């Protein structure tokens, strides 16, 4: 008589060993454009800085030029680095001060964690 395997009665559950880190603020404010002179100089030409930020974020340099891509990148960056905020705040930052929002993202990507 062959041994038959017992059916699994319960499924294993995931163990959360590391609770998520708390949300934090941006390392520099939206209007601290001159906190990094090199990034500020690149921000004079927003298309160039957008491409640079896209590459630093891990995307193709042309992705930031697509409609809505910068908003998606900013929201993704916030979520990835656990920065406080909301999609509406990201949208407002880009609608009313796109160069400043790009500079802020570039500074965040450049700064060590």
Residue 102 has pLDDT above 50, yes or no: yes
Mean pLDDT (whole number) for 77-89: 94
The encoded tokens of residue 108 equal 């965040």
Q: List Cβ<8 Å contacts ≥24 apart for 91-99.
A: 93/30, 94/70, 97/30, 97/31, 98/46, 98/70, 99/33, 99/43, 99/44, 99/46, 99/49
Residue 14 confidence (pLDDT): 63
pTM for the model stands at: 0.77
Provide the mean pLDDT of the chain: 86
Residue 113 confidence (pLDDT): 46
Closest CA to 102 of 58, 54, 66: 54
Phi, psi torsion values for 101, nearest 5 degrees: -65, -40
């Amino acid at each position: 008589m062959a041994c038959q395997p017992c059916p699994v009665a319960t499924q294993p559950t995931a163990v959360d060993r590391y609770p998520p880190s708390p949300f934090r603020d941006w390392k520099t404010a939206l209007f601290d454009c001159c906190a990094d002179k090199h990034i500020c100089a690149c921000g004079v030409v927003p298309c160039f800085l957008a491409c640079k930020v896209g590459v630093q974020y891990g995307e193709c340099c042309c992705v930031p030029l697509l409609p809505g891509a910068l908003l998606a990148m900013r929201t993704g960056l916030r979520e990835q680095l656990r920065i406080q905020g909301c999609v509406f705040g990201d949208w407002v930052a880009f609608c009313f001060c796109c160069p400043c929002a790009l500079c802020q993202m570039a500074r965040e990507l450049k700064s060590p964690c």
